[in-house]
Amino acid sequence: MVAYPVVVADDLFKALADPTRRTILDELTEKSGQTLFEICSRLSMKHRLGISRQAVSQHLAVLEAAGLVETRREGRCKFHDLNTGPLRQIAERWLVPGTSGPKESAP
């Protein structure tokens, strides 16, 4: 019961730790619902990343395990959607509601 959120958090931070995976999230933020082909095109053409389709596929699997990417079949194609829900865990873990961080000491 206690271990579950820890495992989820581990997957989440691991997923966010890689710059290529963060770029994939950037691109899915611009447009959710992309095929593997479109994600590969964006990484190679827009970001000049020399990365194989297999490697992109593995990155997507890590993002999916962390809950940041969801996949759906539409017709015969598989589409990848962005899910920012798990990021709330990060906010709720350290941010105290109603404050904007440590109080600045008065002069």
Partner 1 sequence: MKIHLTSVFVDDQAKALRFYTEILGFVKKHDVPVGEKDRWLTLVSPEEPGGTELLLEPAGHPIVATYRDTLVKDGIPLAQFAVDDVTAEYERLRGLGVRFTQEPLDMGPVTTAVFDDTCGNLIQIASAAQSR
Residue 68 and residue 71: Cα distance in Å, rounded?
10
The secondary structure of 66-106 as a DSSP string is TTSEEEEEETTEEEEEE--TTHHHHHHHHPPTT--SSPPPP
Per-residue binder mask for partner 1 (CB under 8 A), 1-30, x = binder: ------------------------------
Of the candidate residues 11, 34, 59, 63, the single one contacting partner 1 (CB under 8 A): 34
Distance CA 40, CA 96 (A): 39
Binding part of the chain for partner 1, among 3-11, 74-82, 85-93, 97-105 by CB under 8 A, reads 74-82
Nearer to partner 1, 76 or 88 (CB): 76
Q: Which residues of this chain interact with partner 1, rule CB under 8 A?
A: 31, 34-38, 41-42, 45-46, 53, 75-79
